[in-house]
Amino acid sequence: MGAIVDPSQLPSATRARFAVLFTIVSLLAFGVGEEAAPFFNRDQTGTNALYNGALSMLAVLGAGTLYYLFHSLVRSRSFGKCQTLERGDALESAILEICKRFSLNPPVLLVDNDIRNYDAIAFGFPWRKVILMGRGLRLLYRKSPQEFNARLAHELGHIRNGDIATTFLAEGLVVAGLTFLTLFYLHELLSFVATLVNGWHQWSAAGDSFVRFLADWAFWISRAVVAMLGNTLIAGLWALVLLSEHRSFLRLREFYADIASARAFGPKALKETLGGDQPNPPWYARFLAAHPTVQWRKSVIDRPALLYEPTVARLARLGYVVGMLIAVFGTIHDLPDVDARGSMVVFLKLAFTTIPGAIILVILMTVTLPPAIAIGSLVFRTAAWIELDQRPFTEKALKCLKAVAALVATIWCGLLINPINLAQIIRNPSFAVTRIVDWRADAALVLITALQLVVALPLGSLIIRRLLTAPKETPPRTTTWFFLGVSFYLSIAYIGGGFGELLDPSVPDWLTGIVVLLYMFALSSPWLLMCYLIARRSLKFELLPTSCLAPWVCYTQKL
Amino acid sequence: MANPADDELALEFGRVLTEQISPDEGPFYDELITAYRSPIPARRDRTLAFGVSPDSVLALALLEVGKVVLQGIWSVLQPMLSGLVHDSADALRAELSEKLKDWIKSKFKKPIPVTIKPDDVQNILTSVREAAARQGMNESQIAEVTKTLTQALAS
């Protein structure tokens, strides 16, 4: 019998989900910055629009990082006044014991003064992690040490799972993104009001009536109002996408921390401290909640494989982001002298001949990598779910199909109805006509992507499942790895259009072609790396039907 | 229970009950009562917190139980007090308060300073059970409270 493995020890979706959030914030800053450009160049066309977008993105990412660097100051005051736990305190000894179990360095321990507060929060930096506890935990420690351990193991689970850095950096990015969005919206609103007031001042100076002013400006006002309504819709859509992903990301952290706690002290103590089932809050409260409902937490504690399930909601969110990303790539056509045919090559030439072009290339590469990582992570987790979930295979296959259908539908949805397209339609209504005319091209693109996903996702999952369960005597052959890597690389390259460009006889030089290939390789490299890491494990999962500690613990068998 | 002396008596009664029924809460009794008497801050859904807090603090429920028991005792004594002139009634009431305080502080080990008929004891215990249920105590806790008070009132 080998080492004990539990789902919390498997690669979590933390980094992949953080990466997707990073992409959304980057796209928001890029898309809004391209259109509004309130801080940079006022020229909103062609290359300038791209520069504006790129600079806005850097500004938002910088602001998010600053928020993260200062989050500790705010978090330490979350419960009001607090003090460092004295050395030798009984609580400290109990926490140090849990740290030993998790092989963690002890964090800084703070405690507040409110006896009613049984909560605790984790925050800090990789070099200074902090647990802030409510004074009520002191009482809980006396009344029910097991419940105290379960709660603290949950918090230390956050630290062990690496949640602190990703969560607060993500929060910083979301706050910066939403602030930027609000500034953009206010800027547009104030510009509208200022123009109206200036116009009226000039009009009244000439002695004309307000009614005549309104009649004369009616067309401008109606267009401005439509634009404002459009901007409201855009801001709302961005906020919806961002909050949906962010809150879901936070809830996922809680599940992993619960699993870490249940793994350390058993599910009973954790379920007891979660208390009895509570009435289901309304949908909007569930949507915005940072914690899942108690019932949901308990069901995941009982069946952690649920975390790996490719649900419709999870894939729909990812699909929409991928669709938006493709739409952003469409803005490359805004570059001067770039036509639809040779866009990638001409863009890359610009990227290697101008500094701003290079910056834009780096940014685009940065935002395209996360979805690639997320899809790779999704394939892995689907494989783990197929292996761990005890439901019939047909039921699991049906769930996979539903999820893939949701992924495909939302890629299309993200491609067609996204804030970037809406902004373009507001700026130039004829763009809507172009989009409608181009729907067949979009449909073809989505269909090709869908076919790739329908084949690639289950196939990839099955291949990885095979690799996970393969006996050591017959490990995957080099050709298998080569085939896996090359097939994924080719599909990415195909989606990106790199090969299309290379095969085009009008391509002027091979250097650009090689750069395209390297770019595509960079896209596929996280997936290849993940495949290697999975293979190195060579694990055989065995669900243990009953166990005094946790019924879902898996054992690995040395093969 | 508007009288400050009665409040103090109820507080002491709650403390002794807490020490006997939920001894872990004993050292925190005063802190708990003060904290729960102040407005409860809105619960916030904080990032990377545990997210759920237990609401079951027995000390508060036991304070309420103490109030109910004292009310029961005073209502038993009321006919005796009403037959006296005002000053004498106040003096007797103060004296009884002191004796009850002694009885409470002895953790009900001293005999109860007043005689309560078995029917009145039953009435008080019925009121206690109702109050305890209203405070959210479970069946076993109510049974424990009833047992403790039966012994205390019968002593």
pLDDT 10s digits, A24-64: 999 898 888 876 654 555 555 556 677 788 888 889 999 99
CA-nearest of B88, B68, B97, B93 to B78 is B93
Cα torsion through A93, A97, A98, A99, rounded to 10: 90
Q: Which of chain B's residues have a Cβ under 8 Å away from the Cβ of A149?
A: none
CA angle A20, A25, A31 (to 5 degrees): 120
Task: Give burial (CB, 10 Å; 0-12/13-18/19+) of A64.
Answer: buried
Q: Looking at the complex, does the CB of residue A119 fall below 8 Å from at least one CB of chain B?
A: yes
Interface residues from chain B to A (CB-CB < 8 Å): 22, 24-25, 27-28, 31-32, 35-36, 40, 45-54, 57
The pLDDT, as a whole number, for residue A496 is 54
Q: Which of chain B's residues have a Cβ under 8 Å away from the Cβ of A114?
A: 35
Distance of CA A541 to the CA centre of its chain: 29
**Dist CA A273 CA A276 (whole Å):** 9
The pLDDT, as a whole number, for residue B6 is 76
Residue of B nearest to A137 (CA): B53
Q: Quick check: helix, strand or coil at residue A542?
A: strand
Q: Which of chain B's residues have a Cβ under 8 Å away from the Cβ of A257?
A: 48
Residue of A nearest to B32 (CA): A115
Closest to B47 (Cβ–Cβ): which among A136, A143, A167? A167
The pLDDT, as a whole number, for residue A547 is 34
**Dist CA B93 CA A432 (whole Å):** 88
Which stretches of chain A score pLDDT less than 50? 1-5, 38, 337-342, 499, 502-503, 537-559
CB contact under 8 A, A155 and B24: no
Task: Give burial (CB, 10 Å; 0-12/13-18/19+) of A167.
Answer: buried
Residue of B nearest to A143 (CA): B24
Termini Cα distance of chain A: 10
The pTM of this model reads 0.80
Q: Looking at the complex, does the CB of residue A52 fall below 8 Å from at least one CB of chain B?
A: no
Closest to B52 (Cβ–Cβ): which among A122, A142, A294? A294
The pLDDT, as a whole number, for residue A433 is 63
Task: Give burial (CB, 10 Å; 0-12/13-18/19+) of A475.
Answer: middle
Closest to A78 (Cβ–Cβ): which among B25, B46, B57? B46
Q: Quick check: helix, strand or coil at residue A169?
A: helix
Closest to A119 (Cβ–Cβ): which among B22, B24, B49? B49
CB contact under 8 A, B24 and A142: yes
Those residues with Cβ within 8 angstroms of residue B138's Cβ, 6 or more apart along the chain or in another chain:
none
Q: A535 vs A112, A372, A425, CA distance in Å?
A: 47, 19, 48
CA-nearest of A297, A279, A238 to A26 is A238
Closest Cα in chain A, distance from residue B32 (Å)? 6
Residue of B nearest to A123 (CA): B48
Q: Which of chain B's residues have a Cβ under 8 Å away from the Cβ of A121?
A: 46-49
Interface predicted TM-score (ipTM) of this complex, two decimals: 0.85
Q: Looking at the complex, does the CB of residue A34 fall below 8 Å from at least one CB of chain B?
A: no
Task: Say yes or no to pLDDT of B56 above 90.
Answer: no
Q: A156 and A100 in contact (C-beta within 8 Å)?
A: no
pLDDT band at B155 (very low <50, low <70, confident <90, very high): low
Q: Looking at the complex, does the CB of residue A472 fall below 8 Å from at least one CB of chain B?
A: no
Q: Looking at the complex, does the CB of residue A149 fall below 8 Å from at least one CB of chain B?
A: no
Closest to A120 (Cβ–Cβ): which among B25, B49, B54? B49
CB contact under 8 A, A151 and B35: no
Beta strands A541-543 and A120-125, pairing class = unpaired
What percent of chain A is helix, strand and coil (3-state, nearest 5)? 75, 5, 20
CA atoms within 13 A on the CB side of B78: 8
**Letter string b/e over residues A376-386, b meaning 16 or more CB atoms within 10 A of that residue's CB:** bbbbbbbbbbb
Closest Cα in chain B, distance from residue A274 (Å)? 6
Mutate to test the interface with A, among B24, B31, B47 (most CBs of A within 10 A): B47
Task: Say yes or no to pLDDT of B77 above 60.
Answer: yes
**DSSP secondary structure code for residue A279 in this structure:** P
The pLDDT, as a whole number, for residue B4 is 64
Q: Where are the alpha helices (DSSP H) in A266-354?
A: 267-274, 283-288, 294-302, 312-330, 343-353
Q: Which two tokens stand for residue B51?
A: 């997210």
**DSSP secondary structure code for residue B49 in this structure:** B
Those residues with Cβ within 8 angstroms of residue A129's Cβ, 6 or more apart along the chain or in another chain:
A105, A107, A108, A122, A123, A159, A164
Q: Looking at the complex, does the CB of residue A159 fall below 8 Å from at least one CB of chain B?
A: no
**DSSP secondary structure code for residue B24 in this structure:** G
Q: Which residues 309-348 in chain A show a CB within 8 A of chain B?
A: none
The pLDDT, as a whole number, for residue A537 is 47
CB contact under 8 A, A273 and B36: no
Give me chain B's average pLDDT, please: 85
**Dist CA A543 CA A553 (whole Å):** 7
Q: Which of chain A's residues have a Cβ under 8 Å away from the Cβ of B28?
A: 115, 138-139
Q: B82 and B130 in contact (C-beta within 8 Å)?
A: no
**Dist CA B129 CA B144 (whole Å):** 11
Distance of CA A458 to the CA centre of its chain: 22
Closest to A289 (Cβ–Cβ): which among B24, B45, B57? B45
Q: B32 vs B24, B28, B39, CA distance in Å?
A: 12, 6, 13
Q: Which of chain B's residues have a Cβ under 8 Å away from the Cβ of A118?
A: 50, 53-54
CB contact under 8 A, A291 and B31: no
A393-432 confidence digits (pLDDT tens): 889 889 888 988 898 889 888 888 888 777 777 767 666 6
